[in-house]
């Protein structure tokens, strides 16, 4: 365990176009996000997101350090199905 307080962060984002077939029309977009501490370099994990790849729902890499999220241009008049978020119930401490 590091004694770093993780007070500064760096993030990298890459965007990819999705197609159903090689050189086919673009059917969607995905953003891949990674975050690490700028002071000590430790990677951060995304929690509460299933691992894998999906064209319409966020997923993470097997180790949880890369978020893969579907995105779309904000100019679309019809939104894709939206992600939802619910806080888990808090137990008594």
8-22: buried (b, 16+ CB within 10 Å) or exposed (e) per residue? eeeeeeeeeeeeeee
Sequence-distant (6+) residues with CB within 8 A of 73 are 29
| Tally of domains within the chain | 1
DSSP string, 40-61: T-PBPPP-S--BS--SSS-EE-
Q: Which domain holds residue 13?
A: 9-71
Q: How far is CA 24 from the centre of its chain?
A: 25
Percent of the chain with pLDDT over 70: 81
Tell whether 82 is covered by a domain: no
Tell whether 78 is covered by a domain: no
Reported as a single tens digit per residue, the pLDDT across 22-61 is: 889 988 899 999 999 999 999 999 999 999 988 889 999 9
pLDDT of residue 81: 60
Tell whether 30 is covered by a domain: yes
pLDDT of residue 76: 62
Tell whether 64 is covered by a domain: yes
pLDDT band, residue 18 (cuts 50/70/90): confident
């Amino acid at each position: 365990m590091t004694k770093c307080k993780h007070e500064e962060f760096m993030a990298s984002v890459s965007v990819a176009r999705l197609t159903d077939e090689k050189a086919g029309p673009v059917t969607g977009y995905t953003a891949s996000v990674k975050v690490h501490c700028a002071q000590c370099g430790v990677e951060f994990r995304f929690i509460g997101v299933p691992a894998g790849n999906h064209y319409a729902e966020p997923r993470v890499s097997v180790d949880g350090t890369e978020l893969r999220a579907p995105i779309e241009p904000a100019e679309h008049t019809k939104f894709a199905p939206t992600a939802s978020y619910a806080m888990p119930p808090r137990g008594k401490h």
